[in-house]
């Protein structure tokens, strides 16, 4: 019985639904000649597309298309890979996949799990872990900037940055370990090897990579923006203005929006996932009450909360009282996540806006350009997409842990006398954290979590 990794795998590698072309992909550590003979009825030349019929068990054509063979190790997975390009009807592709399973029974072929082709590429050294993740990010990219940045990560931009940090860290570790191994030499390690200077330089380089990685994570994850406030302050109008389309119903009737309405837009290539929510108020309407409850759930999960106010009602006792109640409930939301927006500037003016507040008119467009920039500033965006590589939150957290251990290493090395054993341990821990990004060091659970989120056939 072959192990999971030794068994050949097969899957439909194109998206579900009908299309002009569909692909069935097979990957195997073993020779695929028996499978090729059964389906293609002829041998294939490596990396050369051959037009032929795909045969069923009786020798009848299931379809006609292109067959390509990529012998190991010159393939996506590093194994022998067969790709059958047929017409993109779901029934045709299912028949072709079933034929692969039938013809490959002697090879113990099985259906691929999500992400297993890319996982094999990683395990066979064709991609490191950051590049493997970039494959999924490139497929899922929601903006042009995110797609280009994912392409750079797939080409190894992030891996190169991490690799250079790792090499510098290894050299520093080697010096420390050598000093621990030969204490009789009585070498003043910290001064003669300029360990502190090396460490400071390493920290500076790490900070630069961390900053770029945080920007790349914004390109991938986007920003969750929630529009909140009392009924009829202009939340739905603002959503429509930012999206450039009539997505939400706008009327003078309070409580028109009863559920969350969401839309993704982009600003400077950064995806913004904007949600218009039900107006925050006490109500006897059961449906609206459910919508208000969902509004508070969305607020708790927001990266940026636009707390909207109506300039035409500022100063009215009942309106001010409701705003104060909302503000009280927002006390648990960090202040840096809240942006105060005063709408309807075309109908009224407010002298002396609160600190950080923004004057806006969804009707005339006043303040919209500034709002777009403020949204990016709220989450720390300060880069241009060109030159960035896509990144994930786990990359950011790994770099932060690396930095924490480097800071501790600097602290113990600064003691009199320096605690070289503790210095060496902190450098080791920072090295381990850095290795998690590219997979130089990673737990099986981490690999399973990453590749399980891929689509079948990739």
Phi, psi (degrees; rounded to nearest 5) at 329: -70, -20
> In this predicted model, what pLDDT tens digit does every residue of 313-346 receive, in sequence order?
888 898 888 888 888 888 888 888 889 999 888 8
pLDDT bucket at 413, cuts 50 / 70 / 90: confident
**Does 233 carry a binding-site annotation?**
yes
- Asked if 85 and 22 count as a contact pair (C-beta separation under 8 A), the reply is yes
**Does 171 carry a binding-site annotation?**
no
Minimum mean pLDDT range among 127-136, 254-263, 380-389, 413-422: 254-263
**Does 323 carry a binding-site annotation?**
no
**Does 136 carry a binding-site annotation?**
no
**Does 400 carry a binding-site annotation?**
no
pLDDT winner (highest mean) among 69-78, 192-201, 443-452: 69-78
Beta strands 80-88 and 61-70 are antiparallel
pLDDT at 248 > cutoff 70? no
Q: Which residue has the higher pLDDT, 423 or 259?
A: 423
pLDDT bucket at 255, cuts 50 / 70 / 90: very low
Q: Which DSSP string do the residues of 404-427 spell out, in sequence order?
A: HHHHHHHHHHTSSS--HHHHHHHH
Phi, psi (degrees; rounded to nearest 5) at 267: -130, 120
**Does 332 carry a binding-site annotation?**
no
| pLDDT at residue 68, as a whole number | 97
**Does 279 carry a binding-site annotation?**
yes
> In this predicted model, what pLDDT tens digit does every residue of 391-404 receive, in sequence order?
889 999 999 999 99
| pLDDT at residue 251, as a whole number | 43
Task: Tell me the domains of the chain and their CATH numbers.
Answer: 9-125 (3.30.1360.120), 144-218+389-451 (1.20.120.430), 221-378 (3.40.50.300)
**Does 439 carry a binding-site annotation?**
no
**Does 108 carry a binding-site annotation?**
no
Task: Read off the pTM.
Answer: 0.77
Q: Which strand (E) or helix (H) includes residue 24?
A: strand 19-28
**Does 343 carry a binding-site annotation?**
yes
For residues 230-254, average pLDDT: 69
Q: Provide the token pair at 28.
A: 């195997």
| pLDDT at residue 387, as a whole number | 72
Measured between alpha carbons, how far is residue 354 from residues 129, 322, 362 in Å?
47, 18, 20
- Asked if 238 and 227 count as a contact pair (C-beta separation under 8 A), the reply is yes
pLDDT bucket at 195, cuts 50 / 70 / 90: confident
**Does 324 carry a binding-site annotation?**
no
For residues 19-39, average pLDDT: 95
Q: Which residue has the higher pLDDT, 280 or 232?
A: 232
pLDDT bucket at 424, cuts 50 / 70 / 90: confident
**Does 276 carry a binding-site annotation?**
yes
> In this predicted model, what pLDDT tens digit does every residue of 268-317 receive, in sequence order?
888 888 888 776 766 666 666 777 777 778 888 889 999 988 888 888 89
Q: Which residue has the higher pLDDT, 444 or 23?
A: 23
**Does 254 carry a binding-site annotation?**
yes
**Does 118 carry a binding-site annotation?**
no
| pLDDT at residue 285, as a whole number | 63
Q: Which residue has the higher pLDDT, 226 or 260?
A: 226
Q: Provide the token pair at 64.
A: 């006609």
pLDDT winner (highest mean) among 40-44, 261-265, 289-293: 40-44
> In this predicted model, what pLDDT tens digit does every residue of 350-379 receive, in sequence order?
776 777 788 888 888 888 999 999 988 888
| pLDDT at residue 258, as a whole number | 46
**Does 253 carry a binding-site annotation?**
yes
């Amino acid at each position: 019985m072959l192990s999971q990794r030794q068994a050949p795998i097969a899957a439909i590698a194109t998206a579900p639904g009908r299309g002009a072309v569909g692909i069935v992909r097979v990957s195997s550590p073993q020779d695929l000649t028996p499978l090729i003979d059964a389906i293609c009825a002829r041998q294939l030349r490596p990396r050369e597309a051959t037009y032929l019929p795909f045969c069923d068990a009786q020798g009848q054509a299931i379809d006609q298309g292109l067959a390509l063979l990529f012998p190991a190790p010159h393939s996506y997975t590093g194994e022998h890979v067969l790709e059958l390009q047929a017409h993109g009807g779901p029934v045709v592709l299912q028949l072709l996949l079933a034929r692969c399973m039938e013809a490959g029974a002697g090879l113990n072929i099985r259906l691929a799990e999500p992400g297993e082709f890319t996982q094999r590429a990683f395990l066979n050294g064709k991609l490191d872990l950051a590049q493997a993740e970039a494959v999924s990010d490139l497929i899922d990219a929601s903006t042009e900037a995110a797609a280009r940045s994912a392409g750079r990560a797939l080409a190894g931009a992030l891996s190169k940055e991490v690799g250079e940090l790792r090499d510098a860290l290894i050299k520093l570790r080697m010096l420390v370990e050598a000093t621990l191994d030969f204490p009789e030499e009585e070498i003043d390690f910290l001064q003669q090897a300029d360990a502190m200077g090396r460490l400071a330089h390493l920290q500076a380089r790490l900070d630069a990579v961390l900053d770029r990685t945080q920007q790349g994570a914004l390109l991938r994850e986007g920003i969750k923006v929630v529009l909140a406030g009392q009924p009829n302050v202009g939340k739905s109008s603002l959503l429509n203005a930012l999206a450039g389309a009539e997505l939400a119903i706008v009327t003078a009737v309070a409580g028109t929006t009863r559920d969350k309405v969401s839309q993704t837009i982009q600003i400077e290539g950064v995806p913004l996932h904007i949600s218009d929510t039900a107006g925050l108020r006490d109500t006897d309407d059961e449906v609206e009450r459910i919508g208000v409850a969902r509004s508070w759930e969305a607020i708790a999960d927001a990266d940026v909360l636009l707390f909207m106010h109506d300039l035409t009602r500022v100063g009215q006792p009942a309106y001010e009282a409701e705003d104060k109640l909302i503000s009280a409930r927002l006390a648990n939301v960090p202040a840096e996540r809240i942006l105060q927006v005063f709408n309807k500037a075309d109908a009224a003016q407010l002298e002396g806006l609160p600190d950080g507040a923004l004057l806006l008119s969804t009707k005339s467009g006043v303040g919209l350009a500034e709002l777009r920039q403020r949204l990016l500033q709220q989450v720390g965006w300060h880069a241009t997409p060109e030159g960035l590589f896509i990144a994930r939150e786990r990359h950011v957290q790994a770099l932060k842990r690396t930095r924490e251990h480097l800071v501790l290493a600097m602290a113990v090395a600064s003691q009199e006398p320096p605690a070289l054993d503790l210095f060496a341990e902190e450098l080791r821990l920072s090295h381990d954290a850095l290795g998690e990004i590219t997979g130089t060091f990673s737990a099986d659970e981490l690999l399973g979590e990453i590749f399980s989120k891929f689509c079948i056939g990739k």
